[in-house]
Structure 1
Amino acid sequence: MKILHISDLHFPKKLSLFSLRGKAIVGYLSYRLRRKSKHPLVLIAAMVNAISKLEYDALIISGDLTNVSHPGEFENAKEILKPLLTDKTFLIPGNHDRYQKRAIGPSPLFEKTFGEWIGTSLDPNSYIRSKKIGGKLFIGWDSNFAVPRITANGYVAPEIIEKTTSSVKEPYILVCHHPLWNPKTEIESRGHRMLNRSEVVNKLKANPPELYLHGHTHTNWIKLPGPKAPFAIVNSASSTRLSDRSHECGFHMIEIGKSTSYRRFIYSEDKFIETNPIFYEESEGVI
């Protein structure tokens, strides 16, 4: 099976400041002044074009399609992704898709916009989504929550982990926005990381996934299975960002068969080209 994994798309959308409130004003100004130029439209178009030409069985998007979870941003993201939104697509939200409380309820904007591609719920009280694509089971978690201050922390409640490990009875791939492991050169700040990721990793040992796909940290890596996390952890963030000294951007194609192989694609000279994946042993980073 060929799995194409993209993340942290942060599609640009011009918004009126009068349509924003609270921390969304600060977040949007930060995006316009600091980050907009790093996600050029030509790169976004090149990504959609490249994916349209690749052969794959499943397309996984691990969150952050928007910047401040404005209603207009969701519709814009859906329009840009329209050529790629098929029955082979599975999405989960990122922290920027839950940036404001009005994006969460009572009619969550992410679910309202992308409900056709987020799978079915395994629990009426928790975000545990399930979708089978090409015979492979994908499970999606929402590790995000809207807070009034400018932070980007994640959290997965113990009951969600336990419900997943106890109810899933076949090999599965887990998709969540926040990392469970970082290379020592990419340690996250206290205001950016998943707050209980050690607990998540420990509880997942009861029924570990084949792969853990995530985004959030805007660079690419693959952590190979290790003694603490006996599964590969793949980061494809950000797939629409220009690479620089601190960010190795792009996306991955993962092929699962008798063994697992990885391909990585990066933006170079107005198109996406294939390059070498970045592999780490578990001991080269931290949970």
Structure 2
Amino acid sequence: MKILHISDLHFPKKLSLFSLRGKAIVGYLNYHVRRRSKHPVVLIAAMVDTIKSLEYDALVISGDLTNVSHPSEFQNAKDILKPILTDKTFLIPGNHDRYQKRAMGPNPLFEKAFAEWMGESICPNHYLRTKRIAGKLFVGWDSNLAIPRITANGYVAKEVVEKTVKLSEEPYVLVGHHPLWNPKTEVESASHRMSNRKEVVDGLQINPPELYLHGHTHTNWVKLPGKETPFTIVNSASSTRLSDSKHECGFHLIELGKQTHYRRFIYSDTKFTETNPILYEETEGVV
């Protein structure tokens, strides 16, 4: 099976400061001044065109389609992704898609825009969604918190982990936004990481996924199965960001089989080209 994984798209959208509240004002100014130039429109168009040209069975998007979860950002993201949003698509929200409390509520803005591609909700008390694509079970988590402060912590409830490991005896693909493991060179700060990820990793040991796909930290990696995390972890953030000395950006095409292959694509000279994946052993990082 071929799984195409993209993440942390942060599609640009011009917003009026008068339409923003609280930390969204700071977040938008930060994006506008520091990060907007890192996500050029030509790169975004090249990514969509490249995806249209590739053969794959499933397209997974692991969050952060927006910047400050403004209502108009969701429609903008939907319009950009329209050529590749099909029944083969499975997506989850990222922390920027839950940036403001007004994006949540009884009818969350992310769900309103993308419900068709989010799978089926199977837990009344928490976000836990599943979708079967080409016979493979995909499980989606929402590890994000709408926090008033300028932080980006994540959290996954114990009940969600317990229900996940009981879903199926067959191999499944788990999709979340926050990392469960980081290379030693990319260790997250206390204000950026999933606060209970050690407990989450321990809970998954009962029936670990075949693959965990995520984003959040804007540099690519593939962590091979190890003792503490006996499953592959793939980070495809950010798929729409220009690479630099601190950010190895792009996306992955994962070919699951008896021998799994990890293909990585990066933006170079107006187009995406294939390059070597960045592989790690578990001992080269931390949970």
TM-score of Structure 1 vs Structure 2, range by shorter chain = over 0.9
CA distance in 2, matches of 1:122, 1:261: 31
Amino acid at match of 2:139: I
Distance 2:171 2:121 in 1: 18
How far did residue 256 of structure 1 move?
Answer: 0.7
- SS of structure 1 residue aligned to 2:65: coil
Query: Any unmatched runs of 5+ in structure 2?
Result: none
The residue that corresponds to 2:55 in the other structure is 55
How much does 1:240 deviate?
A: 0.0
Cα offset, 1:169, TM superposition: 3.1
- 1:96 is matched with 96
Is 1:27 aligned to residue 27 of structure 2? yes
User: C-alpha displacement at 1:49, in angstroms?
Assistant: 0.4
In 2, the alpha carbon distance for the partners of 1:119 and 1:254 equals 21
The match for 2:16 is 16
Aligned to 1:216: 216
| Structure 1 CA distance for aligned equivalents of residues 233 and 258 of structure 2 | 18
Q: Deviations over 1:57-79 (max 9, x none)?
A: 00000000000000000000000
Measured after TM superposition, the shift of residue 178 of structure 1 is: 0.2
Paired residue for 2:268? 268
| Alignment correspondent of 1:36 | 36
Write the letter of the residue equivalent to 1:243: S
For 2:238, the aligned partner's letter is S
1:76-87 correspondence runs (5 A): 76-87=76-87
Q: In the aligned structure 2, how far is the partner of 1:147 from the partner of 1:248?
A: 28
State the distance in 1 between where 2:24 and 2:71 align.
12
| C-alpha displacement of 1:106 | 1.7
Identify the residue that residue 258 of structure 1 maps to in structure 2. Answer: 258
Secondary structure of the equivalent of 1:274? strand
Match of 1:135 in 2: 135
- Report the TM-score, using the length of structure 2 for normalisation: 0.99
Aligned identity (percent) is 77
Cα distance, 1:30 vs structure 2: 0.3
1:55-204 equivalence runs, <5 A:
55-204=55-204
1:260 CA displacement: 1.0
- Distance in 2, matches of 1:80 and 1:264, equals 22
- Counterpart of 1:167 in 2: which secondary structure? coil
User: After superposition, what is the alpha-carbon deviation per residue over 1:49-97, rounded to whole angstroms, capped at 9, x for unaligned?
Assistant: 0000000000000000000000000000000000000000000000000
Gaps of 5+ in 1: none
Higher mean C-alpha displacement, 164-173 vs 138-147:
164-173
Q: Tell me the matched-pair count.
A: 287
Q: Is 1:239 equivalent to 2:239 in the alignment?
A: yes
1:113-163 deviation per Cα after TM superposition (whole angstroms, max 9, x unaligned): 000000001111111000000000000000001010000000001111001
Equivalent-residue separation in structure 2 for 1:169 and 1:81 (angstroms): 33
Q: Structure 1 residue 286 and structure 2 residue 256: aligned? A: no
